[in-house]
Structure 1
Amino acid sequence: MGGMVLEITVAEALIKCLEKENVEVVFGYPGGAILPVYDALYHSSRIRHVLVRHEQGAVHAADGYARVTGRVGVCVATSGPGATNLVTGIANAYMDSIPLVVFTGQVPTSQIGTDAFQEVDIFGITMPVTKHNYLVKDPQRLPAIVKNAFHIASTGRPGPVLVDLPKDVAQSVISFKYPGTVRLRGYKPTYRGHPAKIGEIAELIRKSKRPVIYAGGGIVTSDAAGELLQLAETISAPVTNTFMGLAGFPGDHPLFLGMLGLHGTRYANLAITECDLLIGLGARFDDRVTMNINAFAPQATVIHIDIDPAEIGKIVNVHVPLVGDVKTVLQSLLPQLEKTDRSAWLARIRELKEQHPLSYSREGGLKPQFIIEQLWACTRGNAIVATDVGQHQMWVAQYYRFKSPRTLISSGGLGCMGFGLPAAIGASIGRPNAKVVLVTGDGSIQMTMQELGTMIEQGVPAKIIILNNHALGMVRQLQEFYCEGRYMSVNFRFHPDFETLAKAYGIPGHTLRTEEEVTSRLPGIIEAPGAAIVNCLVAAEENVSPMVLAGKGIHEAIDCS
């Protein structure tokens, strides 16, 4: 360019900013207020746009893309309903610490506050569910705002950042220059843990007789799975994962306890109850994990390592708090530890596993747990498994043994039905060579079923397994235990024929009713090229077990099968 100043519109500048951030794909849905951005995107040869069928699909797909790649997911929508349709997905990403940058169109600045056509205050609406957000008023600031947005979304504890762009600002002409550095006063995440605290933790580990490592989603986010494995094997400590932490530790490892908490394994919950040292890594001690807080790890000295200082001490009393990135902290801690023999404690762990195994009855129809076990047998853990929310999600957590990080794609904190299908699409686009399987329920799939159109249009070869019990299974289970079996608005009296629905979208559809059909047909369906829908007619009254009832400690889980 030889020193020439590039005079372009803000919309064109935005696309150049995305190219500078090496954005490969944008998920979105056009409209009037965002039209200048789409017109600028027309001229980009480097960015792929994925047209979804509903804006909620765009944000969930961007979320799924971010989870499997570790990169920032990007989505775009217009003003008004376009923007509000993103809110659930933004909240979902916020709860699960997923890096997104969300761009919304806005009415011209002269019309803001006048109740103009398709105007909402998306800046105000999303303030509680974004890590940060912007309303772009000064056209010249757009490049710096985009640079900051990507930095904020992807550093420290990741999260979604929203940029609201009025139409007149998007059409303004500026002298474009993308900033080389980020200048954000007051935003400096702590990555390196305090050396004295790390030394104190090492000493506590040395003295401990019954340590348990409690690992959350931070292990996956910080790419610390290798360090976690090394820690567990060095100090001979069993590992239990939160739901978000699953896939952060090998599911077939002898030290693995499975998931803990509400629907966790009995042996994980009992190990937590008996441990004398609880090492919390990148987890937030949420209510699904702790249940009755007074009965949670009552004998344990609690160590909590997390990059977000707001999480430390928020729920449980922490004896040794440490703010820092889990991977960086473990890299400093590991050289201070030596190989430890804890044969007595590990013998007790083996005893708990033998006394309280995960189990279910094979009687009374096709069992969903059996299907998940067969799915694992088909894939041997070498698949990306997306789920929706409900009973099927918990059965995946219990019975699918994840091997490597970023292979479980699910809505954790928000518990958002409808997440699974668009997230699976985003995951497949992010990792096109991976096998992607969506496990969903007959309730969840119908919330965003229209994204089948996106899936086919984009050539996504995901396999969709519907565990179809003709009910909102998890709500039904809650009504069984908390409403004395008064089932209100949880049993579906009508469903589409999902096999015929698949054919309407031009993909193979299958209906499986028996164990024999699952074992004989599922492997071939999973291995076949292209997409497929598998409608599994499962036992309607099967419950997720074990279960900790409200007010009880995690050691008091009951069998509710």
Structure 2
Amino acid sequence: MTHDHDLVLRPTAAQTEAALDPPPGRTGTDLVVETLAALGATTVFGAPGRPAPGVLDALHRTGLRHVGLRTVCDAGFAADAYGRVTGEAAPLLVPSGPGALAALAALQEARAASAPVLAIGGQVTGAGPGHGGPGHPRDLRDLSELRELPDRDGVFRGVVKSVHPVRTQSQIPSAIAEAWTSALTVPHGPVWVDVPRHVLLAETPVPVVTGGDTFPEELPPRPELTAVAADLLVRAERPAIVAGGGVVRADASGKLRQLAERIQAPVVTTSGGKGAFPWTHPLSLRSWSADRHTTELLEDADVLLVIGSGLGELSSGAGTFEPRGRIVQIQADLGKLESHHPALGIHADARLALQALLETVGERRDEAAPERVRAVLTEARARLAAQDLTLEQDVVAAVREALPTGTPSFWDPTVLTCWAWSALDARAPGAMHSAQGAGVPGYGFPAALGAAAADPTRPVLAVSGDDGALHAVAELATARQYDLNVTWLVTGDGGHGTGPDHVALAESFGVPGVRTSPPTLAADLAKALAAPGPSVVVLPTALRMPAQAHPG
């Protein structure tokens, strides 16, 4: 084996000029921002407080756009959404010291949803006179400095995908590039880079950063596992498929459809995998994974192919799922592989695993499969019809009618969200997102702002309950400041029984608001989505949940 390659490693003339004639007064913060720009970042998210010192000034010098939200957690949700809709790592600046902890809920959500977020913090170290000098932080158990927090890396390590501490300025470009690669290597996820304040503030002799190519690693399936899985599927009598968010993130919806049609297997998509399979396809069980009739069909499958799902609570009949056949599980996140049920576990990216199966598996005919799907959907509709839930179904239909195909939507935990998980046709992969990791109220609106920042040419929908909306109401100021095309639908969950007038509240921020009703919802929502800039639509109607689909 030889390592003698013909790579061109000589710097270009522009790189040489930048390295030998750097602008005066550069500091460690310039190294941070130059590295982000070299890696391809265009937008950075942050919040008021004390971010990494000097970074905002450095951003202005490089031309990177800074989108500042009103809270650290909301900035994290915005970065999460930016990463989801673009597939790029979203830089997030967090405050020094304990203020960084406010980002943890957002980073937990990003970890659960495999959203690539690159969080950067400036730690207070107490370095300086009497503390060992620059570059030699003292023992952080002596918390006499303002905003000091011991072992911030340890706090974040339990939440993020990887931690990348920095001690010196020369480490900054490589640490950030390494973190960027980690965030974008499947499974995607949030990463943490912590740079001491004195490292950021000091002038730097390190040349201007101009090179930033990174190469995230791919995760193909092991060939012996592909061979076994293909044999199981082609010989199965009643195969079925569960498609999760991993299919959407891998851009593998087309390959999923090809495989389902080749082996004639019914497909159910999880709440995270909505849009991964065509809603009206003859093999589509849609997203009724919480319905007992769907669960029974999956339990009866002699081979169940699970792609990009951990089979958690939301995708396994509220934990009642007891499969009787063989499970083949394809999962990029090793920690979720066989985490709930024994399986032929294939640690792989969904797109590459589906490609391998398509290259290997033979055709299987089953003329009865579409009829089994129709029977399950008929039973699911009958169960709802017996509960007098016409209002709720009409509201879901109105939202679908108003949403242009491909419009991203971001949903708080609310009654309407629970309905949408099962009954809303997303029409496109990656069009519906919700807080399933941290599960916190207040996710939807700031996340929608992040998606709108990623693509200002199209509208974005946010959905919250009237109580949940209060968690993010300050971001109306952000929406107005940047004139982001986000329509916020606030529904009447009832909650604590008291609350503000959300229309008047929106208008106090200079954001137009309208109060609607179920008969006028589709028209009012469509009008708001078509108008430029932010808007609020309030539906003060209490919605009901359907009866529990899985008794006990």
User: What are the within-5 Å matches in structure 2 for residues 196-211 of structure 1?
Assistant: 196-211=224-239
Residue 287 in structure 1 maps to residue 317 in structure 2? no
Aligned amino acid, residue 314 of structure 1: S
Aligned to 1:313: 338
Give CA-to-partner distance per residue, 1:101-153, whole Å, 9 cap, x none.
00112114526443221122421211100111133212211110000000001
Q: Where do 1:450-529 residues align within 5 Å?
A: 450-471=474-495, 492-513=496-517, 515-529=518-532
Q: Cα offset for 1:86?
A: 0.7
CA drift at 1:517:
2.8
Output the amino acid matched with 1:351.
A
Match of 2:52 among 28, 34, 43: 34
Counterparts in 2 of 1:430 and 1:11: CA distance versus 1, 3 Å: same
Amino acid at match of 2:373: I
Change beyond 3 A, Cα 1:311–1:191: same
CA gap of 1:41–1:498, structure 2 versus 1, over 3 A, is same
Please say if 1:543 is aligned against 2:541. Answer: no
Structure 1 equivalent of residue 206 of structure 2: 175
Q: Distance in 2 between matches of 1:414 and 1:383?
A: 24
CA distance in 2, matches of 1:333, 1:142: 42
- Which range moved further: 321-330 or 264-273? 264-273
- d(CA) in 2 for partners of 1:211, 1:366: 33
Partner residue in 1 for 2:370: 346
1-structure distance, mates of 2:21, 2:485? 42
Match of 2:456 among 432, 456, 461: 432
Q: Counterpart of 1:89?
A: 106
Contact map agreement 1:33 1:107 (CA 8 A) in 2: no
Q: 1:415 to 1:307 in 2, by over 3 A?
A: same
Task: State the distance in 1 between where 2:269 and 2:256 align.
Answer: 11
* Shift of residue 180, structure 1, vs aligned partner: 5.5
- CA shift, 1:497, in A, is 0.3
CA distance in 2: counterparts of 1:103 and 1:462, whole angstroms = 27
1:142 maps to which residue? 172
Residue 144 of structure 1 contacts residue 179 of structure 1 at CA under 8 Å; is this kept in 2?
no
Match for 1:107 among 124, 128, 146?
Answer: 124
The question of whether the paired residues in 2 share the 8 Å contact of 1:190 and 1:323 is answered with no
The structure-2 alpha-carbon separation of the partners of 1:229 and 1:109, relative to structure 1 and needing over 3 Å to count, comes to farther
* Equivalent of 1:54 in 67, 71, 75: 71
How far apart, in 1, do the equivalents of 2:294 and 2:211 lie?
49
Q: Which moved more, 1:15-24 or 1:27-36?
A: 27-36
User: Higher mean Cα deviation, 66-75 or 356-365?
Assistant: 356-365
Distance 1:240 1:113, change over 3 A: same
Q: TM-score, normalised by structure 2?
A: 0.88
Per the alignment, in what secondary structure is the counterpart of residue 342 of structure 1? Answer: coil
Report if the CA contact (8 A) 2:458-2:485 is conserved: no
Candidates 274, 295, 298, aligned match of 2:300: 274
* One-letter amino acid of the structure 1 residue matched with residue 409 of structure 2: V
User: Residues 221-274 of structure 1, C-alpha deviation per residue, up to 9 Å, x if partnerless?
Assistant: 21111111111122111111121111222223232212354xx23442222122
Report if aligned partners of 1:11, 1:170 keep a CA contact under 8 Å in 2: yes
SS in 2 for 1:249: coil
**Matching of residue 118 in structure 1 with residue 147 in structure 2:** yes
Query: Which has the larger displacement, 239-248 or 446-455?
Result: 239-248
Which residue number corresponds to residue 410 of structure 2?
386
Q: Using the alignment, how far apart are the partners of 1:510 and 1:494 within structure 2?
A: 19
Give the Cα separation in 1 of the matches to 2:100 and 2:94: 6
**Aligned residue identity for 1:534:** V
Corresponding position of 2:287:
259
1:356 aligns with 2:385: no
Partners of 1:331 and 1:6 in 2: CA distance: 49
One-letter amino acid of the counterpart of residue 12, structure 1: D
Mapped to 2, the partners of 1:332 and 1:360 lie a distance apart of: 40
Structure number with the bigger relative contact order (C-alpha 8 A, sep ≥ 6) is: 1
Aligned to 1:322: 346
Alignment CA distance shift 1:17-1:109 (3 Å)? farther
Distance 1:295 1:243, change over 3 A: closer
Secondary structure of the 1:35 match is coil
Residue 88 of structure 1 aligns with an amino acid whose one-letter code is A
* 1:290 CA displacement: 3.0
Q: Which residue of 2 aligns with 1:474?
A: none
**Matched residues in 2 for 1:327 and 1:73: separation?**
23
Distance 2:305 2:476 in 1: 42
Give, in whole Å, the separation in 1 of the partners of 2:304 and 2:119: 37
Deviations 1:33-89 (A, max 9, x none): 6222222122122x1001111111111000011111111111102113431111111
User: Which ranges in structure 1 are unaligned for 5 or more consecutive residues?
Assistant: 472-491, 553-561
> Where does residue 160 of structure 2 map in the other structure?
130
Please tell me whether the aligned partners of residues 329 and 345 of structure 2 are also in contact (alpha carbons under 8 angstroms): yes
- Say yes or no: does 1:304 pair with 2:307: no
Aligned residues: 519
Say if 1:306 and 1:324, in contact at 8 Å, map to a contact too.
yes
Structure 1 residues 520 and 422: CA distance shift in structure 2, 3 A: closer
Residue 414 (structure 1) shift:
2.2
Contact 1:65 1:73 (8 Å CA) reproduced: yes
CA contact (8 A) 1:212 1:278 kept: yes
Corresponding residue of 2:135: none
1:362 to partner: Cα distance: 11
Q: Which moved more, 1:226-235 or 1:366-375?
A: 366-375
TM normalised by structure 1 equals 0.87
Read off the aligned partner of 2:70 and give its amino acid letter. Answer: R
In 2, the alpha carbon distance for the partners of 1:358 and 1:19 equals 55
What SS does the aligned partner of 2:77 have? helix
Give the C-alpha shift of residue 189 in structure 1: 5.9
Instruction: State the alpha-carbon separation in 1 of the partners of residues 404 and 112 from structure 2.
Output: 30
State the one-letter code of the partner of 1:220. V
- The one-letter code sitting in structure 1 at the alignment partner of 2:69 is V
Mapped to 1, the partners of 2:214 and 2:251 lie a distance apart of: 24
Q: Could you say if the C-alpha distance between residues 516 and 283 of structure 1 is closer, same or farther in structure 2, counting changes exceeding 3 Å?
A: closer
Code of the aligned partner of 2:94: A
User: Which residue does the alignment assign to 1:406?
Assistant: 430
